[in-house]
Structure 1
């Protein structure tokens, strides 16, 4: 991959990689580390991608795997979600409340929810990316929405 191609792809997918990483790691420092590692892997890969969609799927898979590796490390730590959310600059308090509620979810619910609603993946695509049965993804999405309703009613 040439430097020019890398710059185009990095610019196009860096935010998506960061969002997926943050949904796993729950802190900006580790999400930045994961994003950097994934971009390094993208630059070094000799893999030929059939399409942008194929590259996007590969990047999400690499991001999830990198998060799993870092999550197991002893240096894993969390920051206050509300502090981070405020740096995102939500103009509407309801968006901030929703973001905080989503981040309270366990990652097994949070990651599929992010991929489905924010990244636009189908349940089967999420199942393939995460190595889960499609029904499991559907169940997790349903449970995530149920838990979100409870969290949002409490606030």
Structure 2
């Protein structure tokens, strides 16, 4: 493992970012933890050379998103149901918003999270997910419309 990829430095720097992304996509804390652990394991196994910390962060997020996509395709996941009764939030208002976001399809949640919470542009999201840029923009627009409609009843 190269000096710039030392796990002791990388894990504390990126674990929360990767976990939040995986949780937003999968909606299951245990699966999100597993995907993050697999991303760090992949970093350790591959030991890629990075141009900058931003490149390293982007690579780790892409590995995490791909791991989430693999888990969502798994036949085992289709046979199970989520057990969460509530989602972690700071206050009841934020709790309601998180539950509405979790009701969106996983691909829409992924686009929203990467765009709004991680600050990536549509081209970067397209590169991470393998979607076209137009697909990313349409997923974002569709997710915003769904959120607007769902939250309209929530805030009235």
Q: Would you say the 8 A contact 1:26–1:78 is kept in 2?
A: no
Match of 1:127 in 2: 126
> How many Å separate the matches in 1 of 2:43 and 2:11?
8
> How many Å separate the matches in 1 of 2:19 and 2:94?
19
Matches within 5 A, 1:34-53: 34-53=35-54
Match of 1:66 in 2: 67
Give the number of equivalent residue pairs: 151
Normalised to the residue count of structure 1, the TM-score between the two structures is 0.87
Match of 2:110 in 1: 111
> How many Å separate the matches in 1 of 2:27 and 2:2?
33
**72, 78, 82: which is aligned to 1:79?**
82
Determine helix, strand or coil for the equivalent of 1:75. Answer: helix
> How many Å separate the matches in 2 of 1:18 and 1:120?
15
Match of 2:150 in 1: 151
Gaps of at least 5 residues in structure 2 are: none
Matched, 1:139 2:142: no
Q: Would you say the 8 A contact 1:112–1:140 is kept in 2?
A: yes
Q: Would you say the 8 A contact 2:126–2:133 is kept in 1?
A: yes
Normalised to the residue count of structure 2, the TM-score between the two structures is 0.86
Match of 2:100 in 1: 101
Q: Would you say the 8 A contact 2:66–2:129 is kept in 1?
A: no
Report deviation, 1:29. Answer: 1.4
> How many Å separate the matches in 1 of 2:127 and 2:148?
27
> How many Å separate the matches in 1 of 2:33 and 2:9?
19
Match of 1:12 in 2: 13
Q: Deviations over 1:60-80 (max 9, x none)?
A: 111122122222334324424
